[in-house]
A and B are shown apart, each in its own frame.
Chain A
Amino acid sequence: MEDFSEIGTTSQLSEVFGEEFADAQVKAKTSSVPETEERVFQPFLEVNGVSKVFRKGLSRFTGKGNGVVALDNVSLTVGKGEIFGVLGPNGAGKSTLIKVITGLVIPDEGEVALEGLHFRRDKEKFMSKVGAQIETPVFFNKQSGWWNLKYLADLQGGLPEQRIKDIVEIVGLSGRIKSRVGTYSMGMRQRLGIAQAIMHKPQLLVLDEPINGLDPDGIAQVRDLIRQLRDDYGTTVLFSSHILGEMQTLCDRVAFLSKGRLVAVKTKNEIERGTGDTCILSVVCDEPNRAATLIQQKFGYRTKVQGMTLYVEVKGGNTAEINKTLIENSISVVSFNVKTRTLEELYKELTR
């Protein structure tokens, strides 16, 4: 079991990020709002009309010919200080989107901008503000974790050694940092991956499946670290995950991708309220078939009768009106339940 008990305590993070992130911290705290209210974010990362087709052979370089559509005209905006999730089934285009944002995949069309910096024109400035962990963290296995971090820090333009030491402590790898990465467990690699992504204090942290391979304690620690980076230091976080619960718990907004297309972007409140304006009404009554006909005629909603239970898919309507209609038409209602869709149901529906 991975021991994440040392990951990201407030005091440790403050030591490392504190001074230079003072402004961001003040801004983040000033703008903090109760959980039930929607946060308002300034646009930070903009993805505009990005399309990508993966081709084989020489077509890879010419950009012409048939291939697998990975992204189809995807546009989205991530706010400053926002935790933004990307959700979708395997092959939906999550990783491709993240790789386009980090410059690993070159889009056929569209562009990515970070506070007005366009990736194609200002790659170095753009990437100096980004920290990324893409899929399974990969390092030079024959070298130590420290060697790898130092190598990446130097490639970043140089970081004080003390900063790297502090980050290593934050992710709880102090005891094994001098060991060869080849001897690390999956969880340790993930921790090292997070360390290399945050050590240069990025304004945008991009994490692709950051909790893969972690045990529940590890997941909780990474979640706390992400939240802390955002809440205390204003770091914008974009991450993808298959774990729906994490998305719901952590994200301010979630983008749903399916077959390379962006099908919806939902806020945390929309997800918590039942994912928007659609709910399932289950009514146990004495005349479910007549009730179904009445509802279809008056409201036009889809209905389904199973025994004495009537199911109604209510879109944007007032369920009280339905109850009132049934009573006015002398239908005895035994029970009346409103069931909002879970994130999982929403996920299945949107990515079907």
Chain B
Amino acid sequence: MKGFLTAFSLECKKIFSSKGFWIFAVVILILCLIVTATFRTLGEMLEGMDESVITGSTTDATPAQLAEAYREQLAQYREAVANGDVEVKWYDTTETRYKNMIAIYEYCDQHNLNPSKLTYIGSVSSLRMSSADYVTTMSQITFAFATIMAIVLAARTFAGEIDDGTMRMQLTRPVKRSVLLTAKHTSVFAAAMTVGVVFTVLFMIIGAIFFNASTYDVILVDAYQNVSVINPYAAILLSLLFSAVIVEVVIQFTLFIGTFVSKTGALAIPLVLYLFADTVAQLLYSTGLPWVGLFTNLSWISGLTPSGAPLKGMSIYTMMAITTVWYALFTTVNYIAFEKRDLK
């Protein structure tokens, strides 16, 4: 354990003493502040405007009435499917969506909640942002950049150090390879999370000062119509947790790629996949290639919204299982391959 802590602190020292890290962090901050200024300006423009005009929601119906309306729509949909008027693919998102909406309105009815005062996780309740909406949005933007930063750092600290020979120098010290690999991995994770969490806290402060304090509770619904409502700040924490999972998996994947290719490949492949794989997978998936779902989908958070995961018909639990299997594979290969690897 002592060996790991020493190696970990040295790796952190290496990252935090590099100019690249700070430049990246400052760039993220500047971009986020530009977005902040835009939101603030938008908020001022919408000041005094009626909420229903902003959201487009004009219904005065009760949750029970809305649930009943969705039940009717579901029945009509099923009838259309039975008559062959609607073509159903191997997955049926429409049915899931109707069921989720019914479950949400029934929940609101049972718990005396106003559905127009609720929002979904990862989304904003109104264009006139509340502080929670602002923090949620900025946290997502920050973590998207922090994940890119994690890819760059992981490629540099593993494949990069093997390429330039500095790994050789480190391995002639009395430290186990597995310990060094773990230290490198965790230090990159710590660096990316530091940026993500510190900035999120900063945005919470900015949000409290410059944005509307009234917040909406967040409703969660899974593919099996289990519904719960949580505080918006608890939702931000949940969102942070899911972001941490993405960062962790992406780091492990970058190290995995670095086991087989040089630094350039270890940087480019994860970066391209992170930026484009989800979109490509969604396209392939919706055009009838369900197996694509096995290769991507880290957006767990979307599995808790009524419309469900981007890869339709897949529950959050399926996404978690797929991610876990891939993560275990990457981890196992990384450790075994690094133990057996020759450093010429």
Interface residues of chain A, those whose CB is within 8 Å of chain B, are 54, 60-61, 63, 99, 102-106, 123-128, 130, 132, 134-140, 142-143, 147, 151-152, 154-158, 196
> Is there a chain A Cβ closer than 8 Å to B138's Cβ?
no
Query: B336 touching A99 by the CB < 8 A rule?
Result: no
Classify the secondary structure of B's interface with A. Answer: helix
Query: A61 touching B340 by the CB < 8 A rule?
Result: yes
Q: Which residue of B lies closest to A62 (CB)?
A: B340
- Chain B residue total in the interface (Cβ 8 A): 30
Interface residues of chain B, those whose CB is within 8 Å of chain A, are 3, 6-7, 9-10, 13-14, 17-19, 164-166, 168-176, 336-337, 339-344
Most buried by A among B14, B164, B343: B343
Q: Which residue of B lies closest to A132 (CB)?
A: B172
Tell me the bound Cα distance from A130 to B173 in angstroms.
Answer: 8
Query: A105 touching B340 by the CB < 8 A rule?
Result: no
Return chain A residues, CB-CB under 8 Å to B164: 138
Return chain A residues, CB-CB under 8 Å to B6: 154-155, 157-158
Tell me the bound Cα distance from A134 to B167 in angstroms.
Answer: 12
Query: B344 touching A99 by the CB < 8 A rule?
Result: yes
Return chain A residues, CB-CB under 8 Å to B342: 54, 60, 99, 104-106
Return chain A residues, CB-CB under 8 Å to B10: 151, 154-155
Query: A123 touching B176 by the CB < 8 A rule?
Result: yes
Query: A155 touching B170 by the CB < 8 A rule?
Result: yes
A156 CB, min distance to chain B CBs, angstroms = 5
Most buried by A among B10, B165, B171, B176: B171
A140 with B173: in contact, given A60-B342, A105-B343 (CB under 8 Å)? no
Tell me the bound Cα distance from A301 to B336 in angstroms.
Answer: 56
A257 CB, min distance to chain B CBs, angstroms = 17
Return chain B residues, CB-CB under 8 Å to A147: 17
Return chain A residues, CB-CB under 8 Å to B176: 123-124
A-B contact count (CB 8 A): 85
Query: B343 touching A127 by the CB < 8 A rule?
Result: no
Tell me the bound Cα distance from A127 to B172 in angstroms.
Answer: 7
Residue among B13, B18, B19, B173 making CB contact with A152, cutoff 8 Å: B173
Residue among A63, A104, A157, A196 making CB contact with B171, cutoff 8 Å: A104
Query: B174 touching A123 by the CB < 8 A rule?
Result: yes
Q: Which residue of B lies closest to A154 (CB)?
A: B10
Query: B175 touching A155 by the CB < 8 A rule?
Result: yes
Return chain A residues, CB-CB under 8 Å to B336: 61
Return chain A residues, CB-CB under 8 Å to B174: 123-128, 156-157
Q: Which residue of B lies closest to A140 (CB)?
A: B166
Tell me the bound Cα distance from A174 to B336 in angstroms.
Answer: 42
Query: B169 touching A139 by the CB < 8 A rule?
Result: yes
Q: Which residue of A lies closest to B6 (CB)?
A: A154
23 A–B contacts from the bound complex (CB under 8 Å): A60-B341, A61-B340, A63-B340, A99-B342, A102-B172, A104-B172, A104-B343, A105-B342, A105-B343, A105-B344, A106-B340, A127-B172, A127-B175, A128-B174, A139-B169, A143-B17, A151-B10, A151-B14, A154-B6, A154-B10, A155-B6, A155-B170, A157-B174
Tell me the bound Cα distance from A61 to B13 in angstroms.
Answer: 32
A155 with B165: in contact, given A60-B341, A103-B171 (CB under 8 Å)? no
Query: B18 touching A142 by the CB < 8 A rule?
Result: yes
Query: A127 touching B173 by the CB < 8 A rule?
Result: yes
Return chain B residues, CB-CB under 8 Å to A196: 169
Return chain A residues, CB-CB under 8 Å to B173: 127, 152, 155-156
B340 CB, min distance to chain A CBs, angstroms = 5
Q: Which residue of A lies closest to B172 (CB)?
A: A132
A142 CB, min distance to chain B CBs, angstroms = 7
Query: A134 touching B172 by the CB < 8 A rule?
Result: yes
Tell me the bound Cα distance from A132 to B171 in angstroms.
Answer: 10
Tell me the bound Cα distance from A306 to B3 in angstroms.
Answer: 69
Return chain B residues, CB-CB under 8 Å to A63: 340
Q: Which residue of B lies closest to A57 (CB)?
A: B260
